[in-house]
């Protein structure tokens, strides 16, 4: 299980502040959501990358130890926060090319959204999967 670095209270505050906040708020919200994903889907078979703010390993399965992991998810901070709050669906993000997901275990739809009750960022009504 991943060690929490951001308290639940601070994480929720960062999520609420991220849509209109600055880089620090967005970074804290992204990292908090990555920590939460690792908590809810413990394991080391999938690496989730949200550059430049964070990375985590999650989902049960074979442990990755060297080189490029066999299961990788990568997206930008805006998309990650939309996924985490339910403003964007997993299938919509993948279909729109906003998420790169490679490997058999790289589908995170079973764990997203993480915080459907927390208002998150929105790219507007034209975003697929809303």
Domain boundaries, the chain: 8-61+68-102
Task: Write the pLDDT tens digit of every residue in 42-95.
Answer: 999 999 999 999 999 999 987 767 777 789 999 999 999 999 999 999 999 999
Per-residue pLDDT at 125: 40
- CA 117, 26, 125, 75 torsion-angle sign: negative
DSSP symbols for 27-84: HHHHHHHHHHHHHHS-SSSEEEEETTTEEEEESSSSPP-SSS-SSEEEE-HHHHHHHH
pLDDT-based confidence at residue 12 (cuts at 50, 70, 90): very high
pTM above 0.95, yes or no: no
Thinking of the domain 8-61+68-102, which architecture would CATH place it in? 2-Layer Sandwich (3.30)
Task: Write the pLDDT tens digit of every residue in 93-103.
Answer: 999 999 999 99
Per-residue pLDDT at 48: 98
Q: What is the mean pLDDT of residues 114-124?
A: 74
Q: What is the mean pLDDT of residues 8-26?
A: 94
Q: Which residue has the higher pLDDT, 130 or 75?
A: 75
Question: Is residue 130 within 8 Å of residue 89, measured between CB atoms?
Answer: yes
Sheet holding 46-50, edge to edge: 54-58, 46-50, 72-75, 99-102
Find all residues with CB under 8 Å of 49, minimum gap 6, and list them.
55, 72, 73, 74, 75
Find all residues with CB under 8 Å of 85, minimum gap 6, and list them.
15, 113, 114, 115, 116, 118, 119, 120, 121
């Amino acid at each position: 299980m991943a060690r929490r670095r951001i308290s639940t209270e601070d994480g929720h505050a960062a999520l609420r502040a991220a849509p209109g906040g600055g880089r620090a708020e967005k970074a804290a919200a992204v990292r908090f959501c990555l920590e939460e994903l690792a908590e809810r889907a413990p394991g080391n078979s999938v690496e989730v990358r949200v550059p430049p703010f964070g990375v985590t390993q999650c989902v049960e399965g074979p442990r990755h130890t060297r080189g490029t992991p066999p299961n990788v998810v990568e997206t930008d901070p805006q998309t990650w926060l939309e996924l985490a709050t339910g403003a964007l669906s997993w299938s919509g993000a993948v279909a729109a090319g906003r998420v790169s997901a490679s490997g058999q275990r790289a589908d995170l739809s079973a764990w997203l959204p993480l915080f459907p009750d927390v208002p998150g960022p929105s790219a507007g009504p034209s975003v697929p999967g809303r």
